[in-house]
Chain A
Amino acid sequence: MRAAALRWPLPFETSMACAACLASAQAAQADSFLDAAGPVAAAQVSHLRLILILMAIVVVPVFAATPWLVRRYRYGRARGDYRPEWKFSLLFEVLAWGVPFLVVIVLGTILWERTHQLDPYLPVAEAKAPPVVIDVIGYDWKWLFIYPEQGVASVGEMAFPADRPVKLNLTSDTVMQSLLIPRLGSQIYAMKGMRTQLNLAADGPGRFEGRNTQYNGKGFSAQSFTAVAMRPGDFESWVAQARAQGLPFDEKARAALEHKGTKLDLRHALGMPDGTVVHFAAAPTALFDKIAGMKETGE
């Protein structure tokens, strides 16, 4: 019989593949949250681990018992008994319902707790300093970061002092988008006429890739930015430089932002050389409020 030639590579293969996936994801150079650089991402990794461990209780039996069952009850060379009418066992029934149920109770309790702890709307619990507020507007296909307190704005770069958390207010001047900086933490949607919030923090200075994850047209893949956690002094000079050398936030700037294009196109439209970051020497906070509050104004 042809089937007799089959062996059982599956459990081995699959578990190996999974292990390999997880392990090398960690080692890879991509910006992965497994390589956490802030308290939110770190909490997410530990939650992930915890779930994987607890889930082993229900997963391992499947991986272990299935090969055993097939070997023992294989037609033609079975060693176990044959009971074609056997169809119920109270013990197995209680285990099959009870164990997963208990696991879900435990996982559910943890879920409840962690979901509240990591609520993106709440300030980062570990943070000691007050947050830097940044108003973020999503355009097709770039993000505008507005610093109301500092009176500056930028595109393609989200700078903040590493010793303070950030509080992002998000909205979109176009279709729905989603902002994610994997190594720092969660993502949240940005929608026109609405303001959503996201609180993040970094463990220390560093540069982290951030992007839109919600498909929004042909420039989607270019809609990334760098989140830069700076030494406090560096942030001061970043602000000072933006104030001194930044572009004015005028009609031209606004039109260029609204025009469908990537941050590269924006640079060209504003006459900036390649490889530079667009800074504005003003914080158009009214603009944010207007876009985020369209509902209320009925516009």
Chain B
Amino acid sequence: MTDWGFPFGRLTLDAIPLSDIVTAHGRTELLSGITGSAAAGAAVLGALVALVIVTWKGWWKPLWSDWLTSVDHKKIGIMYIVFSFVMLARALAEAFVMRMQQVVGHDGGGIVMPEHFAQLFSTHGTIMIFFMAMPFLTGMINYVMPLQIGARDVAFPVLNSVSLMLTVAGGIILMVSLVLEPFSTGGWSGYPPYTEAAFNPGAGPDYWIWAVTLSSLGTTFTGINFAVTIYKKRCPGMTLMRMPLFTWTALCTSILMIFAMPPLTIATALLALDRYLDFHLFTNGGGGNMMNYANLFWLFGHPEVYILILPAFGVWSEVFSTFSGKTLYGYTALVIATMAIAVLSFTVWVHHFFTMGQSANLNAAFGIATMLIGVPTGVKIYDWMLTMYRGRVRISVPMLYALAFLFLFTIGGLSGILLANPTIDYQTHNTLFLVAHFHNMLIPGLLFGMIAGYTMWFPKAFGFRLDEKWGYRAAWCWIFGFMGAFFPLYALGLMGMPRRMADYFTGAWLPWTVVALAGAGLIVLAFTFLLVQLRVSVRDRARLAVPVGDPWDGRSLEWGLPAPPPEWNFPALPRVEGRDAFATLKMTGEDLGPPDDGYEDIRMPKNAVLGPVIGALGTGLAFALTWYLWWLALPLAALVPVVLIAQGFRRDTEKVIPAHEVRETWRAFRALAARTPRVSRRAEYTRDNRGHAIPMPQEAAE
């Protein structure tokens, strides 16, 4: 290789969205250029504002030493979720533009050009899956799971930070692609041969390949980390069958991550070989076969949707039981159902391409396997309903989401059963019916679950509740916004409207796209309300404070800790005697106690720079490879092993929290709890709720 791509590789001025305005012919091209430039401008401006604020407030040092280099699972969890909110904002904005385009694009034209529209659905899908949903649930598990099993941190804290930074690196690549265009137009699944160099020689598919590769590596590490944590770091007495259901779903999701992410990493790596080194793995000619890609991708892709949904199922289990003031119905059945789903999820991938021309036997077998997953999923729905049975149901904000979930998810499941039938799929495949179906699973299932979990555990992480008034407003907007935005797509799909279509000439589709736009508008409003809620809650944090840490009469260990918990979580590792560990303690008038035989020094991992360094190297490498900056790519690639080996020589990796500090902290907390009156559930949403709960059964007995 004699051309080192110095200094700009194949990067030219065309990459800047403003150039689209300069070269625009006609209205749509101009509007498209303006839309793209505005998005790029917003990204740059946002980054600049963030930099200025951090500098102005002198936050660089705390940002670096308290957050970016932290290996505390709680802080890493929070960073994951903050990141996913930022990405959600972008992907939602893109969704809104697409909905808008499908209204004004009737009879051709519109506000974005077809290639631009294709970038929008590709980035929207890629972000929503890899950089919104995955970080959200990974953050949630990171925060909650170690607390639920009575651990001080995950098994590999530094690896945890590396995973986070790899994911963020992928997200940064996606943000960069807004400013230096174009991104891929191949959708979130990136099917070759369309994404091969013969058809798309530009930088787009390469951006996609590297962003997804970074994220898939991060997720594989996360899966290993969580699984080992759950197997190895449970506190005494926390047998597997005593684990809270959220932790069970975290375990199953981690196992799925370990087995499902490698096929994706391999698929993108092989595609990269095709594109960079002229291999012929998935090409049209030379013996290539794109069907291998489809199989690899969905070998990842289907388990992936269960990676996404299982943690939400875990949240729903906690929500239904906590807000019904009752133990979970059918714990064992729920565990079995979760595991059954996890196993079955590897046996159904062909349903993503029933239309590829394979035999009826094969299609029918995979169709039936797909329908079988409906059984354990149905069991879960019924078990949650039975959890409310003979309970005391409080329609709190998380519970409102949960009830909406029961209805909406059932509709999504119904459309899923329809799609599992190859005969029906022959009609609805690649149409908006499919788009409606998967959003119907992902929004009421996953996203509502994550928002419910965020609402439920936020007070634990920050010491104050999220304002409920704005919480209800946001929830109603999400619910009706979802129905408005996606029920019309079922109709459009049945009316034959394909997915990924920028313009059309079928008048009958228009009214439905208008309704869908209105729904998308409500969803944007819902997201805005969530931001307002955060703002209002921070402002009113004195009124909303719950320092004693148990605002919802919680049932698992984390609710016995102060809000926010100290870095070391537990003053002594708890000893657990059954399910609903904390609920049981409360009933006997006890709480998480101090250690029986005196406080001891606690060893905690020290901060590590490895995560941010790997993240920076990953970002740089992905960027250099995308734009053919070989002079940059080579040294960066060489640095990765150097850095990893250097990490191996780090010896001073632990710090000691002295016993007296642990003792003082815990005593101060117990004293605060003793001063704070316990409140009944009636006062849950008032300022009297300081996080000290009267257990529901006691309240009912009075």
Interface residues of A (CB under 8 A from B): 1-3, 6, 10-11, 13-14, 17-18, 21-22, 24-25, 28-34, 41, 43-44, 47-48, 51-52, 55, 58-59, 61-63, 65-66, 69-70, 73-76, 78, 80-89, 92-93, 95-97, 100-101, 104, 107-108, 111-112, 114-116, 118-121, 174-176, 178, 180, 182, 185-189, 191-194, 196-197, 209, 211-221, 294-295, 298-299
Contacts and interface: CB of A to CB of B under 8 A. Distances in A.
B388 interface: yes
Given A70-B388, A182-B496, A215-B118, A188 B357 contact: yes
B353 A189 contact: yes
A93 B330 CA distance: 8
16 contacts: A3-B396, A44-B424, A70-B393, A74-B392, A84-B696, A84-B697, A87-B330, A96-B330, A108-B372, A116-B361, A116-B364, A118-B423, A174-B193, A216-B194, A217-B185, A221-B501
A218 B421 contact: no
Contacts of B324: 73
B291 interface: yes
B375 A111 contact: no
Given A84-B325, A84-B326, A21 B491 contact: yes
Contact of A108 (B287, B290, B368, B697): B368
Given A48-B424, A87-B327, A73 B368 contact: no
Contacts of A85: 326-327
Interface in B649-702: 681-682, 685, 696-697, 700
B113 interface: yes
Interface in B401-429: 403-404, 406-408, 410-411, 413-414, 417-418, 420-424, 426-427, 429
B452 to A, nearest CB: 15
Given A111-B364, A188-B426, A218-B114, 16 more contacts: A32-B495, A47-B423, A55-B414, A61-B382, A62-B407, A62-B410, A86-B329, A118-B426, A176-B193, A176-B290, A182-B496, A186-B427, A187-B427, A218-B115, A221-B503, A294-B285
B381 to A, nearest CB: 6
A66 B503 CA distance: 41
B502 A221 contact: yes
Contact of A22 (B327, B367, B381, B494): B494
Given A66-B407, A86-B390, A220-B114, A1 B685 contact: yes
Contacts, number: 322
Contacts of B360: 115-116, 119, 121
B285 A174 contact: no
B487 interface: yes
Interface of B: 113-115, 118, 185, 187, 191-194, 199, 284-285, 287, 289-291, 324-331, 333, 353, 355-357, 359-361, 363-364, 367-368, 371-372, 374-375, 378-379, 381-383, 385-386, 388-396, 400, 403-404, 406-408, 410-411, 413-414, 417-418, 420-424, 426-427, 429-431, 468-469, 472, 479, 483, 487-488, 490-491, 494-504, 506-509, 681-682, 685, 696-697, 700
A3 B502 CA distance: 42
A62 B405 CA distance: 11
Given A14-B408, A196-B357, A44 B394 contact: no
A212 B500 CA distance: 11
B202 to A, nearest CB: 12
Main secondary structure of the interface of A (DSSP, over half): mixed
A197 B360 CA distance: 13
A76 B330 CA distance: 25
A211 to B, nearest CB: 7
- Best-buried of B113, B374, B421 by chain A (most CB within 10 Å): B421
Contacts of A299: 285
B436 to A, nearest CB: 9
Contacts of A55: 414, 417
A70 B403 contact: yes
A32 B328 contact: no
A232 B404 CA distance: 55
A228 to B, nearest CB: 17
A44 B423 contact: yes
A191 B506 CA distance: 28
Contacts of B187: 215
Contacts of A13: 483
B390 A10 contact: no
A287 to B, nearest CB: 15
A87 B329 contact: yes
B391 A73 contact: yes
A75 B394 contact: yes
B460 to A, nearest CB: 21
B390 A92 contact: no
A100 B374 contact: yes
Given A63-B410, A70-B393, A84 B327 contact: yes
Contacts of A41: 427
